[in-house]
Chain A
């Protein structure tokens, strides 16, 4: 079965960096686009970033553009989110999700989600 397992969350000071990872299994990882979605405490869902099946295309929300970088490693079946210059408003549970489109088809909806990893940005 499809599994997505996030790791790397924790408490970090403003301005510092953190790297999240998501281990994928149960499907042909190299076929699928992947995303990160977050939810701040008491707030709604917010899309963060997309990476295409082959890693050639990346898209970002305006709120993180220039600070966050999404990447993928096909040898490890993982995606990562490098978060630099963190701000208190980046405090959230970060979910790894699988796009339901494959290869050249981008669907931007998600049947499979990880359980999330909490990032807290605080001094």
Chain B
């Protein structure tokens, strides 16, 4: 089991908001404040959506936001659009100079 646990799938209708969680299951890895989120459409390169829990890179829509509560980080997508349908991964560096990814969440836009 990955040290970063995500739901396998989430779904929502256009215009709705959805939240994808990423739970840190190993406290020994020091991965509290460095959560990033990636959007991955099959066959394309992954795209950075959020870094350092809350921050959006330039050019990323404000519909995407990141948050954290306790040992769970979350990615919220508001005003869901058809093109948001993709796989989403959380990731974090560790105190042993490695990088972990969550197992990924498949977002379906109904």
Contact = CB atoms under 8 A, between A and B. Distances in A.
Contacts, number: 57
B101 to A, nearest CB: 5
Interface residues of A, number: 22
Interface size class of B (residues with CB under 8 A): 20 to 34
A45 B104 contact: yes
Interface string B55-73: 0010000000000000000
Which secondary structure characterizes the binding site on chain A? strand
A54 interface: no
Contacts of B89: 44-45
Interface stretch (A14-22, A74-82, A108-116): A108-116
Interface stretch (B18-26, B32-40, B76-84): B32-40
B57 A108 contact: no
Interface string B79-98: 00000000101011100011
Interface of A: 35, 37, 44-47, 50, 59-61, 95, 100, 106-111, 113-116
Interface of B: 34, 36, 38, 40, 44-48, 51-52, 57, 87, 89, 91-93, 97-104
